[in-house]
Amino acid sequence: MSRIARAGLDRIPTYAPQPLDGVDLDLRDNVNLWGAPPHAMAALRAADPLLLTQYPSVGATRLIDTLATSLGVRASEVVAGCGSDDLIDACFRAVASPGDRVAHADPSFSMVPVFARLNHLEPVGVPLLQNGATDIDGMLATGARIMYLCSPNNPTGTVTPASEVRRLIREAPGIVVIDEAYAEFAPETDWRVEAPAMERVFVLRTFSKAWGLAGLRVGYGVGASALVESVIRSRGPYKVNALADRVAAVAVEQDSAWMQQVARETREYRDRLNTLVRGRVGIRPWDSRGNFVFWEVADDATQLAARFQARGIGVRAFRGLRGIGDALRIGMAPWDQLTRVASMIEELWP
Ligand code: PMP
């Protein structure tokens, strides 16, 4: 029988989250459980049917203009995609040739090695340092064409200090991708305005987390015009649909205060849960700056997650993370829902 798929494709994992039986509080995906931004929702309800019958702009012009204005950069320095996933994928394809390497922390965002392999690149995982920080020297030592840095890092929540990011940018031989999917929760981290002047730096943001629009599928990247132009070429046209272009632009224009308030509450509850956990036996909270807590656990994380599930709560279990072991990642929500997580802390780690 002749082969259908390209050689090796079946060895690249597909992203297939399991539906969770009996869960009414799903905290696995770090999405915004406060809801969708109010003005964006109103724009969605009021949408003109022409947004559906006509093609959208090729590259989400409305959103790009709005973002460029709000950041004080040029429209040619911003690119949007079908989630930031799309832009990781497009960027990898745009700047690296088959066989090139992509260095990333291990653990970091699980789709990075997948997108690397899908684009015929070689992912190189670099273990975190003993203190949980991303190992910049280790990344540089790979000599990779692409240095992918996630800050705050998913799943650990750790932020890479500005001086370390600058060193990575200065010494990297190729392109540095800074994934700021969770940066709205860590305002000390923002490379968007500096990126266009740095030529080889591509900064990624998403509307899926703080902005509460994961289902809309919109992300964007900021960088120098030449880099952005190459990502646009490799991404292809019409990746942001007309509703997404309009609704995300309205969110940026009118829902910023709403988003900031959600981010403030998120940080407060994250730190409150970590305070509850600190000092208990068998569990250690990391200093997460994302919209999730990350708890290193002594017991089997899958079994612990099952105990949460038995109480209707979905949490992400990690088994045998490199240099860490087992861990749980739990997204934030309004406090009246998180009290259920607080009860679980008492139950599992008394
Ligand atoms: N980067 C990181 C670090 C993420 O955690 C995620 C989503 N989990 C993404 C990118 C992709 O986000 P989206 O495609 O929804 O914009």
Dist. CA 313 → ligand 1 center (Å):
22
Half-sphere exposure of 199 (CA within 13 A, CB side): 5
% pLDDT > 70, the chain: 99
Per-residue pLDDT tens digits for 39-62 = 999 999 999 999 999 999 999 999
Ligand 1 atom 1: residue of nearest CA:
181
Average pLDDT, the chain: 97
- What is the structure's pLDDT at 17? 82
- What is the structure's pLDDT at 230? 98
Closest atom of ligand 1 relative to the 30 alpha carbon: 8
* Contacts by residues 20-26 (CB-CB < 8 Å, ≥ 24 positions apart): 20/309, 20/314, 21/309, 22/309, 22/310, 22/312, 23/309, 23/312, 23/313, 23/314, 24/312, 25/312, 25/313, 25/314, 25/333, 25/337, 25/340, 26/314
Contact yes or no for 250/112 (Cβ under 8 A) = no
The phi and psi torsions of 122 (rounded to 5 degrees) equal -110, 110
The CATH class of the 17-36+257-348 domain is alpha beta
Dist. CA 206 → ligand 1 center (Å):
7
Q: Which residues, in sequence order, are CB contacts of 317 under 8 Å at separation 6+?
A: 301, 302, 304, 305, 326, 327, 328
CATH of 38-254, one of 3.40.47.10, 2.160.10.10, 1.20.120.10, 3.40.640.10: 3.40.640.10
Domain-by-domain residue ranges, the chain? Answer: 17-36+257-348, 38-254
Closest atom of ligand 1 relative to the 108 alpha carbon: 3
Dist. CA 7 → ligand 1 center (Å):
27
What is the pLDDT averaged over residues 116-138? 97
Per-residue pLDDT tens digits for 78-109 = 999 999 999 999 999 999 999 999 999 999 99
User: Which among 314, 311, 336 is positioned nearest to 25, based on CA atoms?
Assistant: 314
Dist. CA 280 → ligand 1 center (Å):
31
The pick from 82, 89, 110, 111 for probing ligand 1's pocket by mutation, whose C-beta has the most ligand atoms within 8 angstroms, reads 111
Closest atom of ligand 1 relative to the 218 alpha carbon: 16
Ligand 1 atom 6: residue of nearest CA:
181
- What is the structure's pLDDT at 1? 55
